[in-house]
Amino acid sequence: MKTHAQAVVIGGGVIGCSILYHLAKLGWSDVVLLERDELTSGSTWHAAANIHGLHDSANISRLQHYTMTLYKELEAETGQSCGVFQPGSLYLAQTEDREHQLRLQAAKARLYGMNFHEITRDAAERLHPLVDFDGIRCIMWEPEGGNVDPSGVTNAYAVGARQKGGEIHRFTPVTATVQQSDGTWIVETPKGEIRTPWVINAAGLWGREVAKLAGLSLPLQPTEHQYFVTDTVAQIAGLDRRLPSVADRDGEYYLRQEGQGLLIGAYERDMRFWAEDGTPLDFAHDLFPDDLERIEDNMMRAIDRVPAVAEAGIKRVINGPMIWSPDANVLMGPVPELHGYFCCCGIIPGFSQSAGMGLMAAQWIVQGEMEYDMFAWDLARFGPWADKAFTRARVRDQYAHRFAIHYPNEERAAGRPVRTRPVYEVQKQMGAVFGLNYGWEHPQWFADAPGAQDTNGFTRQNWFEPVGREARMLRERAGIIDISNFAKYRVAGPGAEDWLNAVFANRMPRAVGRSCLTPLISVRGGIAGDATVTRTGEEEFWIVSSGAAERYHARFFDMVPLPDGTRFETQTEAVCGFNLAGPASREILQSLTDTSLETAEFPFMASRRISVAGVQCLALRVSFTGDLGWELHCATQDQETLYRALLEAGQAHGAGPVGARALMSLRIEKGYGSWGREYSPEYWPQEVGLDRLCKMDKHFLNKAAAEEVLARPARERLVLLHLDEAAVNASDADATGGEPIFRNGKGIGRVTSGTYGYTVGKSLALGFVAGAEAGAEVDVMILGRPHRARILSEPPFDPRGARLRA
């Protein structure tokens, strides 16, 4: 066994072998995989191994499509069969909402050149004569859907990796991972040690145990999962072709042909956790006792849909473990707090995503960043707040609602609250309906009385009118927005300015009391983030950025060493904040402070330390609403005092609390982008209008990458769209994000944010388009159907910024 390697992969399941293969494919031949038992041990070997290309996320769809394509290429490359069967897949919609979901996916498939389209009932009956299609509203057909052989795929990756120089050692358990003073790692096994700059935890069911060897806790929890295979079905035996699989997600089961019988699996409501205190080290190719009574309801729905199931005996039952993250997405990426430690754990649809996951992991390790924005997979979306109780509650919810639709703006209640701030109970009593933001409870909107809950759907929901009242209140008078969910940092010391200039693309403000907006450039030259940086002293700066990206951005901050004597401190927990905005905001705030707020003394983008109702605040004259306003940042222990004072002073002016959904509407009326939607590592500065903030006459993080992309023409541009009112009103739906954009039948882009602009009376969307300018007419595929829209030349609210600077 080698004593040194470029990377060591721990875990010989399908994902570990895919990562090894893709590392070697990208040129790293000096790589090693260590497996404690035989390849496929754990959860790989017993997987149903269904494959499908479409997902609600466009980027995950791209990676699933790549995975399905690679399997055939892998067979040709290695000579190892992957056992690929692609008789196609039928997707059924029993409900209107499921129809909306499938039509949206079909529109995305058309945009990205994937094969997924609607077919008639007659066509579906010819494809699958065993299915009873009564009660089905819509049928979609994916010709490439099917399944693979788990062992065949895993061994094909292994053969391909070995052909490219990779080494695999079976029956070689890892007993320790020890980080050295130079940041490298020593991986200890009974067969010897390997020194490596990269440890890759792809240990599947043992992901938690391997992580603990490095002092790391991962939010993962295994469950049992069952499927069964029937005896021979006479109708199938009489066919000369393989039947397509059936995705009847409203029925909460999956079904496909297996041999001359059928394989049926379910995610039951009466689920079972397993190995809550740790996965046994002697578990390998083991299964649990059958417990079909748990999935009886799901089985009956499958029998109703495919009556032949009732006539077939059960040949075998598979009840094996799966390991889940709190949102059922993989935990992937370099651990921000552990240099050179990479995770890829908690994968559920492993055989639909294995190649894409391996490619993304290899790109991140070898090239420094993935080509796609995959924050939905990034382990940095969770922090220490995602404890065992939260993980357990969320995994229960994810498993039991595996096939439930994930609606736009949906906020699931399982495991909450986890993190609250002092005003949580006050807001709750005021009717706040909360959402989750990096573990924090954050007001989405305010109902007339406590206890209200969101309804969910693709059309306008119960919060539509209340959010409109909040937005109009702020524009006409004033509103108070809790912005405590923003990430906040303090940088102080003699090297603070130089360090910030070396991190961010814009030049830091030179005068005390001034602020700037600045991009953070990604490894490939895209937008890793945006921040407001304020100079609060000669050697002190205040940074406000995306709260959801706090742990993600830590990787970038750590790329630039801090100068001696300079401190970087996260203040998100220690400091809370409110944005008081609207035309009456100056008058309201002035009644609570002795500091003059007149524009001549407190202009736009200025800051002051002021006292507000006796509370010491850092006041910034900025507002994400695009209106006149101030951000007020105070110590967490003073949050409730400040909030009550602002609310009381605002009452005389008709001002009150405003939630995040109204803020979304207000910022889109102004055309403002947001991180994770319009600002992403995938998008270049000139495509989102931030190129003017990249000061190319100074050094900053990833400047060479920025220079390279800025020298190229924009591939597409961020635009603001006004949707036709008649079409929107007829469907009772606005764009929400992800809807494809077509022009004359050709796909030219997609929506990133959408909402109704209550104070301008327009349904609006931000999105990226190629080859279309202001004034052009396009079609936005809301609910998967075309809705006419026009590209605006300027935002409908205050395009010159007069209100903002008043």
**Nearby residues of 275 by Cβ (< 8 Å), 6 or more positions away:** 205, 222, 283, 321
Compute the distance between CA of residue 135 and CA of residue 122 in angstroms, rounded to an integer. 14
Say if residues 76 and 372 touch (Cβ distance below 8 Å). Answer: no
Distances (CA, A) of 41 to 161, 212, 502, 732: 18, 20, 47, 50
What pLDDT is stored for residue 459 in this prediction? 98
Compute the distance between CA of residue 343 and CA of residue 335 in angstroms, rounded to an integer. 7
Compute the distance between CA of residue 53 and CA of residue 748 in angstroms, rounded to an integer. 21
Say if residues 464 and 433 touch (Cβ distance below 8 Å). Answer: no
Mean pLDDT of 519-528: 98
Chain Cα centroid distance, residue 732: 27
Nearest CA among 574, 558, 562, 556 for reference residue 492:
562
Sheet holding 138-142, edge to edge: 117-118, 138-142, 89-93, 245-248, 253-258, 261-266, 221-230, 314-324
* pLDDT tens readout for residues 637-667: 999 999 999 999 999 999 999 999 999 999 9
Give the model's confidence band at 54: pLDDT under 50 very low, under 70 low, under 90 confident, else very high.
Answer: confident
Compute the distance between CA of residue 452 and CA of residue 98 in angstroms, rounded to an integer. 25
Compute the distance between CA of residue 144 and CA of residue 66 in angstroms, rounded to an integer. 12
Cis peptide before 417 (omega within 30 of 0): yes
Question: How crowded is the C-beta side of 61, counted as CA atoms within 13 Å?
Answer: 20
* Percent of residues, the chain, with pLDDT higher than 90: 99
* Percent of residues, the chain, with pLDDT higher than 70: 100
Give the model's confidence band at 77: pLDDT under 50 very low, under 70 low, under 90 confident, else very high.
Answer: very high
Distances (CA, A) of 59 to 371, 511, 553, 753: 10, 42, 21, 16
Element of type H or E holding 719? strand 717-723
Mean pLDDT of the chain: 97
What pLDDT is stored for residue 557 in this prediction? 98
Torsion angle, alpha carbons of 9, 366, 525, 333, to 10 = 10
In the chain, what is the greatest distance between 2 CA atoms, to the nearest angstrom?
88
Number of other residues whose CB lies within 10 A of the CB of residue 777? 12
* Sole residue written with tokens 């190229």: 712
Q: What is the DSSP letter of 419?
A: B
* pLDDT tens readout for residues 428-466: 999 999 999 999 999 999 999 999 999 999 999 999 999
* pLDDT tens readout for residues 673-726: 999 999 999 999 999 999 999 999 999 999 999 999 999 999 999 999 999 999
Nearest CA among 239, 251, 229 for reference residue 130:
239
Identity (one letter) of the amino acid at 560? V
Compute the distance between CA of residue 18 and CA of residue 161 in angstroms, rounded to an integer. 8
* pLDDT tens readout for residues 544-597: 999 999 999 999 999 999 999 999 999 999 999 999 999 999 999 999 999 999
Say if residues 776 and 791 touch (Cβ distance below 8 Å). Answer: yes
* pLDDT tens readout for residues 485-509: 999 999 999 999 999 999 999 999 9
What pLDDT is stored for residue 766 in this prediction? 98
* pLDDT tens readout for residues 771-794: 999 999 999 999 999 999 999 999
Mean pLDDT of 733-741: 98
Tokens of 157: 């990756």
**Nearby residues of 711 by Cβ (< 8 Å), 6 or more positions away:** none
pLDDT at residue 752 is higher than 90? yes
Question: How crowded is the C-beta side of 455, counted as CA atoms within 13 Å?
Answer: 11
Torsion angle, alpha carbons of 346, 155, 30, 282, to 10 = 50
